Amino acid sequence: MFNPSTDTMAAHNAILQQVNSLKAVIPPGDFHDFGFLDTHVRCFAYFLGLLRSWAPPERDREVLETGSYHLHLSMLMARLGYCVKSIDLPAFVNRVVVASRARGLGIENSPYGLNEFGKPVRIPYNDSSLDVVVCTKVLEHIRFNPVALWSEVYRVMREGALLLLTTPLLAHSTQCHD
């Protein structure tokens, strides 16, 4: 497991530099987008260190980010060499800046939502097709029974796939914020 206090600081600093480099692609004046990234820089770096140690980047390693929001984490994973797919609510996926980011890095960013009965719809990927599923800063926003969502996540994961899940508790640890 990656631990910035014991692993090489050079590796950690390289990841942190990648995360900080995203600030250059945030449109001027988009304070919400920039603020979200700025608030989560250290947490993203820590998370990416864990991901790289548990599932090293490979172009054919398929990673799905659920709840991709501004696409920050998906962009970082793509820059590190992962084959990234992402899903989120149509309101976020269809934002012009998010769609442009996805196209620019070859990220398949698909809308995902609820049906007319408030149940999650099918994740738009084949059974047993993904190596890693990433779910960060999502659980606290779910306002429906998540059993159907987790069944879908399980359906798309290959045997032996990795599920990386964070909650707000991790986001407030001293390892993620200054």
3-state secondary structure of 147: helix
Inside any domain, residue 37: yes
**Angle CA 143–78–25, to nearest 5:** 85
| Mean pLDDT, rounded, for 159-164 | 94
Inside any domain, residue 131: yes
pLDDT at 19: 75
The top-scoring range by mean pLDDT among 10-14, 104-108, 141-145 is 104-108
Give which of 88, 83, 82 is closest to 136, Cα–Cα. Answer: 88
| Count of structural domains, the chain | 1
Provide the whole-model pTM.
0.82
Its domain, for residue 80, covers 9-171
Give which of 77, 42, 83 is closest to 170, Cα–Cα. Answer: 42
